[in-house]
Amino acid sequence: MSFKDNLIKRKNGSYSLKSKSKKVQKKGTCIECGQNGSTRDLMYEYDSEDVINVREYMEDHLVTYSNHQTMTPVWCPECKALTEYRISLNESN
């Protein structure tokens, strides 16, 4: 009998979510950065709406934190997903 829910039964009798099982994490995972677009909402460099959101976030962040001089988004070279932001601080403050 099969249920239509998000649970998977393990060998020891416990249950876990399908999204947290190793089978789902391996499928669709980028080898370079380890991001998985099938289990998370990611921002991609080739999507213009995502790039606009990243630019707006960087602008808001730089206005809010005056001691941050520059902010650079780091994109995965393989899957083009946003992995992190690099920030350089003002040395004068």
Q: State the Cα–Cα distance between residues 93 and 76, nearest whole angstrom.
A: 32
Give per-residue pLDDT as tens, 3-36: 677 777 776 767 777 666 554 445 678 878 888 8
Averaged pLDDT, 65-76:
92
Residues forming a β-bridge with 88: 70
pTM: 0.66
Q: Which residues lie closer than 8 Å to 45 by C-beta, 6 or more apart?
A: 51, 75, 80, 81, 82
